[in-house]
Structure 1
């Protein structure tokens, strides 16, 4: 199911979902009565952290309790995800999950401490977004075509930083390598912020990363944009070509969503989903996200669960075909 179809379905049934959420919320035990912990499985300053803080601020205002964002980076998001999976299923500890923690890592990692399906209750998909390929301005390439040609002429010379193994930043690069017939070495970091810092400093050559945090660095001339990973150009960077314009059929769209530990009462899951939907419906929040190429979604728990399963099925063969693996 495409993001567009999800959005259309949400628009059609949003009033019913909100009503059902409110009724369930009223019937259950009072919630929340204390601060909510929002766990981000990536380093502070990255796209997951930025979106979590934006959402937490709006939810906190509506709920009347603090929504505290706490970063627990490492292992491609597995550390933070495992922490939430083992937390009390009461709705007070929730996860900002990613394509890595819930659709990729179970295939990429040989040993997983949590089950992305059985150990969580999906709450809502929050946003979807394309990535942008950025390089150090001193790298002698100015387009995707030149990057591919340079990589072929200099085998083993180039490397690419990412926000961690199993992230969309990692897998988008693996897909690019595979489709272009090149090999750009992957270097995982504990988040987008440190990865892009090293690209700017010349310790890494390039990165596939979120437009959310790369755009201001591109505009400041600290990074050079080579291409975006969506099927088409992004409104946030309209002058930057889609990779597919050079490499037909290449497409990669990342996403972020909220999940609670398995066993969290349904009324609390629905209460959280309702607050997320309200936050994303806020014009200021929606416009800010769109300005950064992040498309607000706000799905129901059932829709998000189906999306996770479809994304898992999509990326499993890509990982196996590229040979990407983490011990």
Structure 2
């Protein structure tokens, strides 16, 4: 039996926002395809939101909307690609708190300024995170998991998408609030996290309902 627990303390860390560079062209927009950059691998919550946005926009714009996954470096690779693109409205970014608040707070020397180099267009979703454990896990409740972590600090490992991502911060915040140490194990993306969880490489993960849904239903 899989267990999920909503973490209200980090409910807003999964909030996805759509940003674009400022429109500079005088030609009718759009006159060609639009690119949406997602700074995460395919399959995760942000990717799901980006693809849903692309499917909704394409028929309304009358142009193709291309999803361009550029994962890595805690969203820096994808975000910097957008800030370097022409400010003509044809390159959009779908991202969340890692890009707009976490990275600026934790990384003093960014190659972009989220308030100057990007223009917010809309909030697309607010996604609380859930705690997911494998079916064979001995932990049936969140208190049981925390008790094990308290008895053996670092013995409870949780999968993340890398440093400063929402799952990583969720584990840190939960550990701080409960007075325990949870060991984060970074992976490249949602597929790798799912594999690690189901194979028992880690004891838990934190993810959005959209991304964790298939695991919970399996």
Give the TM-score normalised by the residue count of structure 1. Answer: 0.57
User: Partner residue of 2:3?
Assistant: none
Does the residue aligned with 1:75 lie in a helix, a strand or coil? Answer: coil
User: Partner residue of 1:88?
Assistant: 86
Paired with 1:195 and 1:165, the residues of 2 have a C-alpha distance of: 14
* Cα distance, 1:193–1:109 mapped onto 2, change above 3 Å: farther
User: Partner residue of 2:105?
Assistant: 107
Aligned length: 194
Query: What are the within-5 Å matches in structure 2 for residues 172-187 of structure 1?
Result: 172-187=170-185
Using the TM superposition, give the Cα deviation of residue 127 of structure 1 relative to its aligned residue in structure 2, in angstroms.
0.5
Higher helix share: 1
Work out whether residues 151 and 158 of structure 1, in 8 Å CA contact, stay in contact via their aligned partners in 2: yes
User: Partner residue of 1:206?
Assistant: 204
Dislocated runs of 4+, deviation >4 Å:
none
- Report the more deviating stretch, 108-117 or 206-215: 108-117
Does the residue aligned with 1:113 lie in a helix, a strand or coil? Answer: coil
Work out whether residues 145 and 156 of structure 2, in 8 Å CA contact, stay in contact via their aligned partners in 1: no
User: Partner residue of 1:63?
Assistant: 61
Using the TM superposition, give the Cα deviation of residue 214 of structure 1 relative to its aligned residue in structure 2, in angstroms.
1.0
Paired with 1:120 and 1:213, the residues of 2 have a C-alpha distance of: 26
Paired with 1:212 and 1:114, the residues of 2 have a C-alpha distance of: 29
Using the TM superposition, give the Cα deviation of residue 134 of structure 1 relative to its aligned residue in structure 2, in angstroms.
0.7
Equivalent residue for 1:188, pick from 167, 186, 189? 186
Using the TM superposition, give the Cα deviation of residue 156 of structure 1 relative to its aligned residue in structure 2, in angstroms.
1.8
Give the TM-score normalised by the residue count of structure 2. Answer: 0.84
Work out whether residues 52 and 69 of structure 1, in 8 Å CA contact, stay in contact via their aligned partners in 2: yes
Query: What are the within-5 Å matches in structure 2 for residues 68-147 of structure 1?
Result: 68-147=66-145
Alpha-carbon RMSD: 1.5
Using the TM superposition, give the Cα deviation of residue 76 of structure 1 relative to its aligned residue in structure 2, in angstroms.
1.2
Gaps of 5+ in 1: 1-24, 221-327
Paired with 2:81 and 2:119, the residues of 1 have a C-alpha distance of: 14
Does the residue aligned with 2:126 lie in a helix, a strand or coil? Answer: strand
Deviation digits for residues 172-207 of structure 1, max 9, x if unmatched?
111101000011111222323321221111122211
Equivalent residue for 2:154, pick from 149, 156, 161? 156
Which structure is larger by alpha-carbon Rg, 1 or 2?
A: 1
Does the residue aligned with 1:76 lie in a helix, a strand or coil? Answer: coil
Deviation digits for residues 150-170 of structure 1, max 9, x if unmatched?
111122212111122222111
